[in-house]
Structure 1
Amino acid sequence: MPRVLPDSPDPFYYLANFERALAWLDARCADLFDDAERRFADDFARMPQASRALFVRMLMRKGPHFRSSRLAYDEIGCPRAAAAPLVAAGWLDAAPPLDLDSLAALVTKAELQALAERLGIALEPRASRAATREALEAHYAAAPDPRDWHAWFPASPDTVLLFASAPLCERLRLMFFGNLHQDWSEFVLADLGVYRYESVPFDRASRAFQRREDIDTYLALRDCRDGFDSAAQAQDFDAAVAVAVTLDALDALAPRTHANAWLRVRHDKLRHATGLAAERAGEPELAWRAYLDCGHPESRYRRVRVLEQLSRREEALALAQTIAEAPENEAQAQRAARTLGRLARTRAKAKTSAEPAFVQLELTLPAAPGELRVEEAARLSLATPQAPVFYVENTLINALFGLLCWPALFAPLPGAFFHPFQRGPADLHAADFVARRASHFEACLAELETHAYRDSILRRYAQKAGVQSPFVAWPALSDDLLALALDCFPAAHLRLWFERLLREPIANRSGLPDLVRFWPHERRYELIEVKGPGDRLQDNQRRWLAYCVQHGMPVSVLQVRWPDLADEANEANESAAQTLRAP
């Protein structure tokens, strides 16, 4: 999709980009349009250029109300003249009723005070904007009836326009992007080079939604989530009521999500969130209702915890045993084993094996690091010219995976890419994400059997620099770091890490150790997880540590102490290394 750069001679670059988006939608999603969207797509091109430009300017600004005096653009000219055809089409409202909240967002402090003076409201000298607003509210006692701009300010030469097309444009944006967290500014950001995206070929079927009903369901789920979040933020929040209302809405929407796996994931995510809220509120019956018909990967284990809260101990024990025998992922196996140990009062009944031992080290720094993060303080203490240390956490191994497996991640499969501004495939969270690309990933990992992987990683590091990827954090990489990693990480270890990432791409791309230390002359390395005083290992970190130990990879946990917290057992750091079982 060609785009016009913002610094080009064309001052209507933003209009050109929006019209290209409309053409994209008309070519691929025309069968999804309702009557209003069809009329808009047909009529927009017939509008005068200035009117179309004003429409897009308003679309890309925060609204929905705009004062015409603040819509001055050289390339558009008179905003009232440009707005007239849009008003006639019903896309703008030239006399919208304004309540006090809407009005306050449009006026200056001086205008607000002038309004108070016209109404005969006494104000303190130099009254603040907030005080003036409070005085107006007190004057009316109850919220005044909404009225148009000139009813509030009869002598004002200004007018207010309401961008009445916001719901229509929201649906168009949803059809284009497949989500509502991206907006039309993506065109400009891409043109300016702020973001770069991989170029993936699209066919006419490459779109987020296949049925109109899916769009309505997505928006209904969005409204359901917004309602739940708003209720949770209210001062009089009643968790039981909010959860029950949300679950009723989700139950009604559930049948509409069964035919669309992507929508079902969104449904289950919100359902799981309501279950967590019910647990926090001490409402296990509601939590059970939320988790029972929920496919969220964590809901299965939460059912065990809720059964415990309901004093249904035997059912909880049976479900924990079932999960331990057939876990859906590593997190379930880990938690089920822990629960069995508690419920059965002995770990002997758990089917899963204990975590492998790993090395623990202690380091007492000369003084607390002040503004430095504990990881950076540890890195500076450990680094030597012969053995440089880098803070990489979840960036380096993920980046190596992302660069080697770039062709697999960006394979143009159906349902993966909908538009030119995607950071990664839309089905990255899907259970069959890897299975659908099995041959692609196998081809990438096969390069680890030869030296071809080094050339592929370095070539893509150069060619794709800055291109958005769900696994490559470009600012964390450097030429030196990449060279050391390829020299010191054995290909066999890369394969093991990448294979674990492919088991659960989303869950396993976090929890990796904080630091890596290289010995370049010896072509070896060590991964180090850093923990400050009082800090403990998280479950995903334990799983990565256990995996590395199981496969003979050099990994350790470094417990950092400050002098005033160190005890007599820390006399000599050089002899503190010892093999212990993970706590």
Structure 2
Amino acid sequence: MSQASEHSTALTAADINNPFYYQENFITVIKWVTEFHARLLLKAELELIDRFLTLPQQPQALLIRLLLRKGPLFRVAKLSYPEIDSITASICALETDGWLTTEALLGLENLANLFTKAELAVLLDEDTAHNYSLAKHNKATFIAALSKQSGQFAAPEQVVSLGHHALFQRLRLMFFGTLRQDFSAFVTTELGHTRYEQVKLTTDTCAFQCRSDVDTYLYLDELSQNPEQACAADMLAALKSQAAQSTSLWLTRKRSRLLFDLGVKSAREQQFLVSNEAFEHSTHPAARLRLARSLERQGALENAFELACADPLNLDEEVGFERLKVRVGKKISQNYTTVVKAFSPPSFQLTLAPHDNSVEWAALEALQRLDDTSSYHYCENKLFCALFGLTFWPAIFAPIQGAFFHPFQRQPNDLYDADFYSRRREIIEQQFELLTQDPLRLLQRWDEKIGLSNPFVDWRSIDRALITLALSCINTTQLIAIFRRMLSSLYNLRRGFPDLIAFNPTASTFQLIEVKSPTDKLQDHQRAWLQFFAEQKIKASVCHILYSG
């Protein structure tokens, strides 16, 4: 166990009726991330955070308001918050301590982002202004005209910029584990409105094991900021060089995503030497299929066919490789034909009168009228996902290294990674054993966890009675088979379940029904589930809707 103390979700959100609630929530987050990641922060950074935390309430509130907005530049005249008595006084206090700076000169890009077309028009030279009309010309035209005058302009009114931006960016990254998420929605909405599972976090479970991990992420993020302007070959070389500098699984995933994005961009621009190598070095789930399709596009048909013959790593690869082999095989005289004929699931027709409901609800009502021995429910993916989430709750919220960055996460960071199962094998197998021994144990977990955020459980759509009914009618062996298939590719297989489920409590049986309107066809992932159900002797069929009149 690390020497760092354990941290859990035992943090309280501010009262939403407090006009400074966002300030309290922001301070809660900053204190937590500073305490938990203190070893990753420099002495100067910790001192700066202490200065921030001791700011007077009103200047601090204004600074937080600006940190929660898109910046880093702000027009002072546009700032108005009812809980802050004097914007001017707060700005003066923040400028004195270096948290804000008044910008006397603005570059054209910043000027264009801050001011309207009419406001930009007054900056034109007298000799130029008469050539442009607000009614006839758009903002881009005025910006182009201003670009011929100067590179910088005196700010038409007071504009302030945030200081110490790099520190708050670092804190945001260490808290969320990504820079794609910001504090705004989290501090003002999510914190206090959502109840989270308590996950014990220590330095041992933290994704950031050293400061260089944070530095590496910031570097990778900088590489990805302007992909259209970056040299693809240079970016590829930089990403490859980073591979040897960290053993962090989390950083490996980040790097693989960037390599995949680079491969997609380079292939689109026909920079195939770069795209091929980027895909080859990426472990992104779609990288191999993209590479195979790119090789086909390049005319490297033998290479594409050879790659498609590899064992598929996920459902998308299985379907995509199969189609590519059929398509490319014909061109290289392999005469490859799919070994398994496309599965045709059992089906029946149901005639409906015109209705205002969705086709699924209309079908459910009609089938319920025809069958008084069963109880029909429109669940689609929600029921089996809820059963999955309840069964594997301990695995989903296990304190695995790099899975959780902060105490307010709805799901682990690696939930949809290929190694989700392997990293939690022991816990998952324990839950399978418990499910076999006593399926109704899930009802106890329901009672214990009701309302807590879980990526698989939609508490608004599923109730305890439906869970009870499902557990009494679904054979445990069949349920385990369904869960094992889901675990093989959670991202893909958490969806695709039939629309309706019908329970017969007397016979302790159930059946699944996929509803299709006259213009709707089965998708690949739906067909794959129906084939799986047939193999498992689970009754499942397709209901084709016809309309009378």
TM-score bracket, shorter-length normalisation: 0.7 to 0.9
Q: CA deviation at 1:3?
A: 3.0
The DSSP-based 3-state class of the residue aligned with 2:39 is helix
Aligned partner letter, 2:449: K
**Contact 1:404–1:453 (8 Å) recurs in 2:** no
**Aligned partners of 1:4, 1:312: CA distance in 2, in Å?**
58
Q: Which residue of 1 aligns with 2:5?
A: none
Aligned partner letter, 1:270: L
Q: CA deviation at 1:99?
A: 4.4
Unaligned runs of 5+ in 1: 154-158, 232-241, 565-583
Q: Which residue of 2 aligns with 1:88?
A: 96
Q: Per-residue displacement from partner, 1:80-117 (whole Å, max 9, x unpaired)?
A: 33223432333211235334564465567886787789
Is 1:147 aligned to residue 153 of structure 2? yes
Q: Which residue of 2 aligns with 1:30?
A: 38
Aligned Cα RMSD in Å? Answer: 3.7
Residue from 44, 68, 80 that aligns with 2:52: 44
**Aligned partners of 2:271, 2:138: CA distance in 1, in Å?**
44
- With over 3 angstroms needed to count, the CA separation of the structure-2 counterparts of 1:337 and 1:147, relative to structure 1, is closer
**Contact 2:391–2:435 (8 Å) recurs in 1:** no
**Contact 2:172–2:179 (8 Å) recurs in 1:** yes
**Contact 1:6–1:188 (8 Å) recurs in 2:** no
Is 1:79 aligned to residue 87 of structure 2? yes
**Aligned partners of 2:276, 2:242: CA distance in 1, in Å?**
22
Q: Per-residue displacement from partner, 1:28-48 (whole Å, max 9, x unpaired)?
A: 323322566344224323433
Q: Which residue of 1 aligns with 2:68?
A: 60
Q: CA deviation at 1:61?
A: 2.5
**Aligned partners of 1:563, 1:146: CA distance in 2, in Å?**
70
Q: Which residue of 1 aligns with 2:524?
A: 539
Q: Per-residue displacement from partner, 1:229-276 (whole Å, max 9, x unpaired)?
A: xx4xxxxxxxxxx7x834531331233245222222222223333434
**Aligned partners of 1:83, 1:373: CA distance in 2, in Å?**
55
Aligned partner letter, 1:518: F
The two structures have a TM-score, normalised by structure 1, of 0.79
**Aligned partners of 2:318, 2:118: CA distance in 1, in Å?**
64
Q: CA deviation at 1:482?
A: 2.9
The DSSP-based 3-state class of the residue aligned with 2:181 is coil
Aligned partner letter, 1:411: A
- With over 3 angstroms needed to count, the CA separation of the structure-2 counterparts of 1:118 and 1:287, relative to structure 1, is closer
Is 1:439 aligned to residue 426 of structure 2? yes
**Aligned partners of 1:249, 1:177: CA distance in 2, in Å?**
25
Total equivalences in the alignment: 533
Q: Per-residue displacement from partner, 1:158-213 (whole Å, max 9, x unpaired)?
A: x32212333331221101121223333424434442x2211112224443322333
**Aligned partners of 2:215, 2:53: CA distance in 1, in Å?**
26
Q: How does 1:305-344 map to 2 (within 5 A)?
A: 305-321=293-309, 323=310, 326-344=311-329
**Contact 2:117–2:139 (8 Å) recurs in 1:** no
- With over 3 angstroms needed to count, the CA separation of the structure-2 counterparts of 1:133 and 1:109, relative to structure 1, is closer
- With over 3 angstroms needed to count, the CA separation of the structure-2 counterparts of 1:107 and 1:332, relative to structure 1, is closer
**Aligned partners of 1:337, 1:135: CA distance in 2, in Å?**
52
Residue from 279, 283, 295 that aligns with 2:283: 295
Aligned partner letter, 1:176: F
Q: CA deviation at 1:399?
A: 0.9
The two structures have a TM-score, normalised by structure 2, of 0.83
Q: Which residue of 2 aligns with 1:419?
A: 406
Q: Which residue of 2 aligns with 1:267?
A: 255
The DSSP-based 3-state class of the residue aligned with 2:439 is helix
**Aligned partners of 1:74, 1:364: CA distance in 2, in Å?**
60
Q: Per-residue displacement from partner, 1:494-548 (whole Å, max 9, x unpaired)?
A: 1111111222222321222222233344332222223344543333223222211
- With over 3 angstroms needed to count, the CA separation of the structure-2 counterparts of 1:134 and 1:267, relative to structure 1, is closer
Aligned partner letter, 1:297: P
**Aligned partners of 2:75, 2:318: CA distance in 1, in Å?**
59
- With over 3 angstroms needed to count, the CA separation of the structure-2 counterparts of 1:513 and 1:220, relative to structure 1, is farther
- With over 3 angstroms needed to count, the CA separation of the structure-2 counterparts of 1:449 and 1:143, relative to structure 1, is farther
Aligned partner letter, 2:501: V
The DSSP-based 3-state class of the residue aligned with 1:180 is coil
Unaligned runs of 5+ in 2: 1-9
- With over 3 angstroms needed to count, the CA separation of the structure-2 counterparts of 1:113 and 1:245, relative to structure 1, is closer
Aligned partner letter, 1:360: S
Q: Which residue of 1 aligns with 2:478?
A: 493
**Contact 1:87–1:93 (8 Å) recurs in 2:** yes
- Identity in percent: 34
